[in-house]
Amino acid sequence: MFSIEQVKQMAKRLRASLAAQHQEFSHSAALELVAQQLGYKDWNTASAMLVQDSPPPAIAFDKPIPILRMFDETKAREFYLDFLGFSVEFEHRFEVGMPLYLGISRSGLQLHLSEHHGDASPGSTIFIPMQQIELLRDELIAKRYGYGRPEIVQQDWGKVLEVHDPFGNRIRFCQS
């Protein structure tokens, strides 16, 4: 099966060949002739039936999922599940007693927490754009978490609500 672009190139070569023999032929006439040679009634029929050329596939990225280092499963669950309100998507250990790799999510935000040495550096900061930052602040304050009472800080570009996990990581919830 030929593509439309291939048939147009055939018509172009036909015109060039005829022009070399001093025979003038319009592009539309060349398209009609090539279409008939390929078994179609006319160019309109051929162009409706031929394969459309598609651009090469574009590189596409999905949303990134930050990985944060953790050192204590109990503290991680208390902070991320109980305080921040995330839910567990999955838990993985290569075997009993091995480090935990934990996938959590909340309202479309996904994070991975890892006890594996080398997966992430403690002390990381992640920037999370969001809406309704005041509602999140009010929810967190109402939980009366013993290790933090986050407040919104107004910046020139928007509002920031920063929380610190037990492992030195900072999560900056931001609303512009």
> What's the pLDDT tens digit per position in 97-113?
999 999 999 999 999 99
Inform me whether the pLDDT recorded for 52 exceeds 80: no
The pLDDT value given to residue 49: 82
At 84, the pLDDT band (50, 70, 90 cuts) reads very high
Per-residue pLDDT averaged across 150-156, rounded?
Answer: 94
The pLDDT value given to residue 34: 86
pLDDT in tens, 128-144: 999 999 999 999 999 98
The pLDDT value given to residue 54: 65
String of DSSP letters for the chain = --BHHHHHHHHHHHHHHHHHTT----HHHHHHHHHHHTT-SSHHHHHHHSBPP-PPPPP-------EEE-S-HHHHIIIIIIIT--EEEEEE-SSTTSPPEEEEEETTEEEEEE-STTSS-TT-EEEEE-S-HHHHHHHHHHTT-TT----EEE-SS-EEEEEE-TTS-EEEEEE-
Q: What's the mean pLDDT when you consider all of the chain?
A: 91
The pLDDT value given to residue 70: 96
Structural domains in the chain plus CATH codes: 4-49 (no CATH), 67-175 (3.10.180.10)
Inform me whether the pLDDT recorded for 53 exceeds 70: no
